[in-house]
Amino acid sequence: SAVISQKPSRDICQRGTSLTIQCQVDSQVTMMFWYRQQPGQSLTLIATANQGSEATYESGFVIDKFPISRPNLTFSTLTVSNMSPEDSSIYLCSVELQGNGEQYFGPGTRLTVT
């Protein structure tokens, strides 16, 4: 298994500003994933972050809005840029250890944009 922590756990931000969310894993992993979950909704995959290469973004998400860093095998950041109230959501990171579709999720970062 894997233990994943995220910082901050929650934040309230003003529109137009940016927030960087950190994801730390207690073991080395190749792939990390970033999701967004709006209240009462399912999870939407934002991007897949592979250490040593550019992140791969899903349709509807772009690097300028959600830049991702992956400096090593245990850490990643997701930045939500130029925020608007529509970006209010829970952002989760996850990892897959064994290549079998079993992912471990962090506790999430609850973002509110005013």
Partner 1 sequence: LAKTTQPISMDSYEGQEVNITCSHNNIATNDYITWYQQFPSQGPRFIIQGYKTKVTNEVASLFIPADRKSSTLSLPRVSLSDTAVYYCLVALYSSASKIIFGSGTRLSIRP
- In contact, 2 and 64? CB cutoff 8 Å: no
| Angle ∠(46,41,98) on CA atoms, nearest 5 | 50
Beta pairing partners, 69: 77
Which residues from 51-110 bind partner 1, rule CB under 8 A?
92, 94, 96, 99-108
Binding mask 5-34 for partner 1 (x = CB under 8 A): -------------------------xx-x-
The smaller minimum CB distance to partner 1, of residues 16 and 29, is found at: 29
Name the site residues for partner 1 (rule: CB under 8 A): 4, 30-31, 33, 35, 42-45, 48, 50, 92, 94, 96, 99-108
